[in-house]
Structure 1
Amino acid sequence: MTMASPRPASTSARPSPSRSLVELTALLGFMMSLSAFSTDGMLPALHDLAVFFGVSDTQAQLVVNLYFFGFAVGQLFFGPLSDRFGRRRVLLVSTSGFLTCALALVVAPTFTVVLTVRFIQGLFGAALRSVGTALVRDFYRGEAMARVLSFALMVLLIAPVFAPSIGVFLLRWGWRAPFSLIAVLAGLLLAWLTARLPESLPPERRRPLSFTQLAAAARLVLNTPPSLALTAVMGCSYGILYAYLTSAAQLYREHFQFSNTAFALAFAGTGLGQVCGTFLNGLAITRLGLRRVLPWAVGGVAVAAAGLLVAGLLGAQPVVYWFLLTLVFFGIALVFSNANSAALEPLGEIAGFASSVIGFTSTVMANLFGLVIGQAAQGGPRGFALGIMLLALGSLASLLVAQRAGWGRERTHAAAASPARGD
């Protein structure tokens, strides 16, 4: 049984048979979790990788940063490419590229090669998420689409809970073992896509390859102050996440003297806090609305970050530091999707292209922030907490700018003036 049959754009898509829906949901969850695992699963290996190549643990953080830079750039290109050439072809090519990079990392002879390949792998990793989401939009609408994306997001959030533990287990075979597992998973995904994925975008619905609309979307974002400020909120908030991902191994293992197992448990606990925040966000949005939840979430992150900074300055016990850091990520989960929705709110009919621009801009901002904090703090609890506090304040200040520019009212000035608005 195939997963679903593509329907013409003029026909309302209805949910496919249950087996097809389950398979497509599982496939999308696998794609998203593979991208997440390629970062979280290899964090425990950073120290051993640094020792092997004779670099510092701080330099080893670049293995994470370069992946995210590639991921940011990939978001701009793979969506338009899949609109022109179809989802299946682009997914097969990008998954093959991802697999090739994973194999190259297993045999990489120098640290420079590792960094170069990680950047390219990030490019292909962006396609797994962006094109996968577009594929679901082709097959399903309404509640069926929401169920698929919700489950996939759940898998994406749960992956960081277990990935470091798997990475720790694999370390007994050396730092290359986690990268080998990534290659195995990429191979399984490629086989699954090849055997079971039909094309969801027929030729008559494809669009010419043109980046002029992407440039127009970028200009519109720049000329829409609330969206621009809310993109900065996303950049600062994601920056906290990226700073944590690059610094976590060095913070817990070098400065707090955690064992590999303790590091995996601490990382998993913080991930669970983020999962809980995501579930709470769904309830809060339903009851209170976006315009109430987002300011409280951003303010809550700033308060938790202030507590983290105090704990770092006073040399608090690691468990206290960990608890406050988990509170930060509980709040961050309430910011991510809400800030993204708010940023797209005034941008009308070009929301798809605007989403690529906002995703690229916020990811580049976040990675730069994470890179600076990781390299400057060198995993130290005080420097790391100070960086988190500055990003929390940046997010709060950006939200205040968005509110002064009109966000939070029933209709923003930018939305009323924008010719691209599709009411």
Structure 2
Amino acid sequence: MTFPILLILGALSAFGPMAIDFYLPSFPALAHAFGTDVEHVQLSLSAYFAGLAIGQLLYGPLADRYGRRKPLLLGVSIFTLASLACAVAPSLEWLIGARFVQALGGCAGMVISRAVVRDLCDPIAAAKAFSQLMLVMGLAPILAPLAGGALLGTFGWQSIFYCLTGFSALAGLAIGLRLPETIPAGPRPPLGGALGEYRRLFGDRAFLTYALTGGGAIAGVFSYIAGSPFVFIQLYGVAPEHYGWVFGSNAAGFILMAQVNAYLLRFRGPGFWLRRAVWVYFGCGLILLAVTLFRPEHLWPLLVPLFGCIASLGFLMPNSSACAMAGQGSHAGSASALMGSLQFSVAAGASALVGALHDGSALPMAVVICLCGGCAALLGWSSGQISERSV
């Protein structure tokens, strides 16, 4: 895989983190602007997760039938227009609706970038490529909240969405100029066969186990994303412009572990490392829950197990994706779509649960992260009983 293609795929994969993490420091400002509270502003985050879950099911069949480029350009165009709509939102309801549409466009890059990797790579090379994409995806959670906090303080919350508009427009230009069509030559599945393909995938035990293992991990980190603005800014008094530094320190561990994972894949397959990393994730979740129950006066005791949880995703995300996508061949688009939809459906439910359990403490965030870690560990253990694929 060439560097320009990898760079474009990295930008497409960053659509999700950029659209999520960029505006997190603005939650209190949005609540003030729309005359509501942070808990209601969190609905815009849940709406985005719901849009990701639904939209990915649409792009998979489109990518398998019409190729990778055309659906990508369609999705990026929708994301660009919806980002502009967010910037001019006159009410919270408008913002929530625009965020949902924004997600419908942004998920095209997430689905099709995985399918392009599957087009060009075998399972081991795919896991390495996903680890390299994690570097770009990991930089977004570090830089986006920092940039969002700076823009918020200088130009207001609207500037965050204007920047997303420009970023997506540039990504669309790069796709048009530098991304070739990667779908293998030969007959393509009919668009009407999507339901049959999804039925087949639901019957594929290995695919579902690996996809949901990744889903449990992603749900935990999105619980952290949903709960951290309240915990960091309002509960522990972190200034909005400094939120990104605290948030980004955890993402740095994610980047480091993704690169360690790429190196270790020289020695053992992605399934081997996946089944060990889930226990690290669960263990850190248990420690986080135990620390939170003591309601510490300072923030740093929470940051240590949170760092472990987020860092372990550097192993969990690329390896679960590579294992789930192994053997999908010409149906990689549909497989990627269903995997993403399952994962973000779980993430949407987990982030909504954090808001529903809100009690003015860090406990709801810790409980949901620990629960997600336990589910991921159980699924990761069960993946070791699957012998259908050599991963």
Q: Shared fold (TM-score greater than 0.5)?
A: yes
Structure 2 residue aligned with 1:376: 357
**What is the CA-CA distance between 1:26 and the residue it aligns to?**
3.0
Structure 1 residue aligned with 2:80: 99
**What is the CA-CA distance between 1:69 and the residue it aligns to?**
1.5
- Deviation per residue, 1:115-160 (Å, 9 max, x gap): 111111101101123234545666x567998887654432122111
Residues 4, 178 of structure 2: 8 Å contact kept: no
Residues 111, 340 of structure 2: 8 Å contact kept: no
Identity percentage of aligned residues: 24
2:44 pairs, out of 44, 63, 75, with 63
**What is the CA-CA distance between 1:305 and the residue it aligns to?**
1.0
**What is the CA-CA distance between 1:190 and the residue it aligns to?**
3.2
Structure 1 residue aligned with 2:199: 219
1:286 pairs, out of 256, 259, 266, with 266
Structure 2 residue aligned with 1:179: 161
Q: Larger relative CO (CA 8 A, sep 6+): 1 or 2?
A: 2
**What is the CA-CA distance between 1:275 and the residue it aligns to?**
1.0
Structure 1 residue aligned with 2:242: 262
What TM-score does the superposition give when structure 1 sets the normalisation length?
Answer: 0.82
1:311 pairs, out of 266, 291, 295, with 291
Q: Larger Cα Rg: Structure 1 or Structure 2? A: 1
Structure 1 residue aligned with 2:228: 248
- DSSP-derived class of the 1:70 partner: helix
**What is the CA-CA distance between 1:381 and the residue it aligns to?**
1.2
- Deviation per residue, 1:177-227 (Å, 9 max, x gap): 111111122233334444x24652699757354242x43343334334444
- DSSP-derived class of the 1:335 partner: helix
1:296 pairs, out of 265, 269, 276, with 276
Q: Structure 2 unaligned runs (5+)? A: none
Structure 1 residues 291, 204: closer, same or farther in 2, change over 3 A? closer
Matched residue type, 1:70: G
Partners of 1:129 and 1:359 in 2: CA distance: 8
Structure 1 residues 206, 33: closer, same or farther in 2, change over 3 A? farther
Structure 2 residue aligned with 1:190: 172
Structure 1 residues 58, 154: closer, same or farther in 2, change over 3 A? same
- Farther-moved stretch of structure 1 (377-386 vs 231-240): 377-386
Partners of 1:191 and 1:351 in 2: CA distance: 25
- Farther-moved stretch of structure 1 (174-183 vs 203-212): 203-212
Structure 1 residues 286, 216: closer, same or farther in 2, change over 3 A? farther
Structure 1 residues 171, 207: closer, same or farther in 2, change over 3 A? same
Structure 1 residues 276, 378: closer, same or farther in 2, change over 3 A? farther
**Within 5 A, what are the aligned runs for 1:4-403?**
21-135=2-116, 151-172=132-153, 173-194=155-176, 196-197=177-178, 200=181, 205=186, 207=188, 209-212=190-193, 214-316=194-296, 317-345=298-326, 350=331, 352-377=333-358, 380-403=361-384
Matched residue type, 2:81: T
Residues 131, 314 of structure 2: 8 Å contact kept: no
What is the RMSD of the two structures over their aligned residues, measured on CA atoms?
3.0
Pairs aligned (count): 387
- Farther-moved stretch of structure 1 (110-119 vs 145-154): 145-154
